[in-house]
């Protein structure tokens, strides 16, 4: 397999995997391209290499910037905007974990807390509902707390070991 074949395979695979961490395929493909690019790329470079529209590219770049894993970069003498990705895979994993917590886990915790605090009318179904939703809230809160502790740790052996386990 040559470089271009490997590059295309990586970008396609990363695009498919992107849906597992909460982003669409085109967004993940843009991220993959920027991740492996040795220099920042312009929007036109991205559009050309991935064969996607300007609107799709622009929208997904904004979202990647919002996720904190892609950055606008200036190049002296150039008027175009250029983009680059976080290259440190440990920092990348931490940022994705932070964003998933903020976007998914925190809103779910809020809903679970709200629905588990309903008035207990004494019926078996209400008691079971309260019991199960409180248990789910506790589990999700514990998991989020553990993940946040790991993400917020400086690089040490525990964090590195956990990140390796996640891979």
Which stretches in the chain have pLDDT values below 50? none
Distance CA 165, CA 75 (A): 38
Q: Where are the domains of the chain?
A: 3-85, 89-166
pLDDT of residue 23: 82
pLDDT of residue 60: 96
Reported pTM: 0.76
User: In this structure, are residues 94 and 160 in contact, taking their beta carbons and an 8 Å threshold?
Assistant: no
pLDDT of residue 90: 82
Torsion of the alpha carbons at 114, 115, 116 and 118, rounded to the nearest 10: 100
DSSP at 154: P
Tokens for 154, please give them: 């400086």
Q: With respect to CATH, is domain 3-85 assigned 1.10.10.10?
A: yes
């Amino acid at each position: 397999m040559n470089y271009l074949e490997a590059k295309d395979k990586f970008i396609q695979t990363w695009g498919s995997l992107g849906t597992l961490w909460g982003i669409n395929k085109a967004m993940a493909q843009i991220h993959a391209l920027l991740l492996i690019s040795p220099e920042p790329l312009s929007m036109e470079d991205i559009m050309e290499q991935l064969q996607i529209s300007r609107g799709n590219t622009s929208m997904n770049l904004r979202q990647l910037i919002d996720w904190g894993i892609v950055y606008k970069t200036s190049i002296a003498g150039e008027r175009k905007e250029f983009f680059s990705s976080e290259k440190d895979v440990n920092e990348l994993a931490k940022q994705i974990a932070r964003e998933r917590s903020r976007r998914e886990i925190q809103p779910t915790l809020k809903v679970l807390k709200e629905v588990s605090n309903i008035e207990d009318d004494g019926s078996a179904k209400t008691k079971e509902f309260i019991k199960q939703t409180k248990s789910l809230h506790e589990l999700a809160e514990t998991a989020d707390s553990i993940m946040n502790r790991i993400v917020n740790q400086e690089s040490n052996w525990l964090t590195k070991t956990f990140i390796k386990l996640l891979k």
